Amino acid sequence: MLKSLMYKEWLKVRWSYIGLVLLNMIVVINICISLFNAFKFYEANQVYDGVLSWGYVFYIDLMYIPLATGILLGVVQFFPEINSSRLKLTLHLPIKEIKSLLTIQWYGLSLLMIIFLADAVVISVMTFAYFPSEVVSSFLILSLPWFLAGLTAYIFIALVSIEPAWSRRIMLAVVGVGFVNLLFSNIISMGVETLFSKSYLYFIVITLILTLIILLSGYNYKKGIR
């Protein structure tokens, strides 16, 4: 039954998902090309100098892409459910509501993680061709919060869509923006260097915990607006 549910989600999002994959690949390939060009037009040691000593982030174009991807997928997946109460159909299916809500959410999160993994792998491979592994690990640590931001934005779009009461929707939106903003702390202070290397595990755990709130939104949906 859960397979069928995932099949329905796939039917809903497949074209948009392909579009998002294309968007990510275009950005990522662009990054690879610009790195290639950097080594073509400049001396290798100059590029190393830029990256190692001056903190030049050659993959900065990636920064908001996961966020946009998460938001768009969330919209495409959840707005149709709420439009004309289609969520009622889903919740009426003979499965435990906890299972159906979590399945739908984790299906979307998995789709996102596939794209993000692809982004990370392509850039890592390209980086590893030109730089030692330390630069690759630095990329992974620096970009992880950007990917988490995409997942978090998706989660909150789902929450805001499902929650029926407007006052709570606004509250959830504010909290969602709050969490996403934290993940871009690299631009809040001190340029791009502010790093999550000491705390990334906590943020992964926080994101995991946030995936549970959908159960409350579903519960409120079933309570209706009074």
For other proteins, the binding residues (CB under 8 A) are 1, 3-4, 7-8, 11-12, 44-49, 52-53, 80, 84-86, 88-89, 91-96, 98, 129-132, 134-135, 138, 145, 165, 167-168, 171, 174-175, 178-179, 182, 185, 188-190, 193-199, 202, 209-210, 212-213, 215-216, 219, 221-224, 226
Distance CA 163, CA 216 (A): 8
Distances (CA, A) of 202 to 113, 121, 136, 199, 207: 18, 23, 21, 5, 9
Q: What is the DSSP letter of 59?
A: T
- Please say which residue, 26 or 199, places its beta carbon nearer to other proteins: 199
| Cα separation of the two ends of the chain | 33
- Please say which residue, 50 or 64, places its beta carbon nearer to other proteins: 50
E strand or H helix that includes residue 132: none
- Please say which residue, 18 or 26, places its beta carbon nearer to other proteins: 18
- Please say which residue, 25 or 93, places its beta carbon nearer to other proteins: 93
Distance CA 135, CA 5 (A): 41
Question: CB 15 → other proteins: shortest distance, Å?
Answer: 10
Question: CB 199 → other proteins: shortest distance, Å?
Answer: 5
Question: CB 26 → other proteins: shortest distance, Å?
Answer: 26
- Please say which residue, 41 or 189, places its beta carbon nearer to other proteins: 189
Please give the biggest Cα pair distance in the chain: 68
Distance CA 161, CA 173 (A): 10
Structure tokens at 164: 């029926």
Question: CB 208 → other proteins: shortest distance, Å?
Answer: 11
